[in-house]
Amino acid sequence: SRTQVAIVGAGPAGLMLSHLLHLRGIESVVLEARSREDIEATIRAGVLEQNTVDLMVETGVGDRLKAEGYEHHGVEFRFGGRGHRIAFDELVGRAVTVYPQHEVNKDLIARRLADGGDIRFGVSDVQVHDHLTDRPYLTYTDPQGNPQRLDARLVAGCDGSRTSTRGLIPEPQIRTDHFRQYPFAWLGILAEAPRSSEELIYARHERGFALVSTRTADVQRHYLQVDPDDDIANWSDDRIWSELHARVDGEGAEIKDGRIFEKSILQFRSFVCEPMQHGNLFLAGDAAHTVPPTGAKGLNLAVADVFVLARSMDEYLARGDRARLDGYTEEVLPRVWRAQHFSWWMSSMLHTHPGNSPFDNKRQDAELDAVTRSVAGRTLIAEQYTGWPLV
């Protein structure tokens, strides 16, 4: 078969790109290795920037988000046993919305299918060919085991951090040294419990960082800093709750226990692939860059990438003007790097660094104190957390 844009990956980046292209009258086909059920159920991120919310609402996929998401007008930084609020509304007049990534996927999939979109789930062996020519094509195996071919004019690699499309950008051109690891990881839980707090709490404690988040009135999402080599088998439910209490409880905050029904360990990495283009192949979202989770920038950055990519593809496909398409990397990288800095900063400022000297620990306490007591400091956090406007 033939289409204008072949998209590899049906996560937020690929689905939103397909949706935005459709609104511009451009056809696309999305190929996805996983099943629809899997994509609609896998627990991932949960915080949408104001930009992401506005884009979803403006493009007609925001109804359920508006009805079921929770708008948050601030977050709390907790240290020294006390909370310090970053008031997004007062500081920058913006907000974030807690709405899980798999719900975003559901809304985008439903809308693409209602609009006659073509998403092919459960495919395997996806390979991109001739992306340096203006007749690229993909080969893949369909769920019945039959080999297939998809011809396109442009190809988008939206296949996440375990991307295969990134590998098509050859060594001399691609920078692979924009990479950083961290001496910590997160143990994330989902629990049937009442909300512990009206707003998210980012808690720095000598026992390690803790994050109090939420999903719904009855389902809570919390995280604990753990060693990257730790094993989930070491973490009984009792140990998790007692550690959450130890790190978070204090003046004005108390963790509310419940039944844990999901727990796993997430690794921390920072990575930027540069360039994000090779011929007629364009990378977006985690295929191009990874941020550590603190500050919840990953999904939002993916949406910001495809917002630019859709417009640039349109200028080329509708008017033959390649300037913006070939400037894609340069156009999106400054935001990618700002998000890298923010995610690194939030991670560094709030976590316990194994092996830190007493001086470094005090310096870190002073950094949080300086940032939270200054209106300028809180405003910088609020601007970055709620996100830089897309245009």
Q: Catalytic residue numbers? A: 72, 202, 293, 297, 385
CA dist 45 and 215 (Å) reads 10
- Indicate whether 69 belongs to the interface with ligand DHB (CB under 6 A): no
CB closer to ligand DHB out of 53 and 126 = 53
- Indicate whether 296 belongs to the interface with ligand DHB (CB under 6 A): yes
CA dist 296 and 94 (Å) reads 16
Region binding ligand DHB by CB under 6 A among candidate stretches 12-20, 86-94, 168-176, 293-301: 293-301
CB closer to ligand DHB out of 107 and 274 = 107
**Contact status, residue 211 vs residue 223, Cβ threshold 8 Å:** yes
Cis upstream peptide for 275 (omega within 30°) = yes
CA dist 147 and 139 (Å) reads 7
What sign results for the dihedral spanned by CA atoms 283, 46, 65, 200? Answer: negative
Q: How many residues would you count in the chain?
A: 391
- Indicate whether 293 belongs to the interface with ligand DHB (CB under 6 A): yes
- Indicate whether 381 belongs to the interface with ligand DHB (CB under 6 A): no
Exposure on the CB side of residue 371, measured as CA atoms within 13 A = 22
Region binding ligand DHB by CB under 6 A among candidate stretches 18-26, 167-175, 231-239, 290-298: 290-298
Instruction: Show Cβ contacts of residue 163 under 8 Å, excluding neighbours closer than 6 positions.
Output: 9, 157, 283, 286, 287
- Indicate whether 294 belongs to the interface with ligand DHB (CB under 6 A): yes
CB of 105 to ligand DHB, least distance (A): 15
The alpha carbon of residue 47 and the mean position of all alpha carbons in its chain are separated, in whole angstroms, by 8
Show contacts with ligand DHB in window 1-60 (CB under 6 A).
45-47
Query: Binding mask 184-213 vs ligand DHB (x if CB under 6 A, - otherwise)?
Result: ----------------x----------x-x
For 74, 88, 95, 369, the CA distances from 374, given in Å and listed in that order, are 16, 14, 20, 9
Region binding ligand DHB by CB under 6 A among candidate stretches 10-18, 251-259, 291-299, 328-336: 291-299
- Indicate whether 224 belongs to the interface with ligand DHB (CB under 6 A): no
Residues that bind ligand DHB (CB under 6 A): 45-47, 200, 211, 213, 221, 293-296
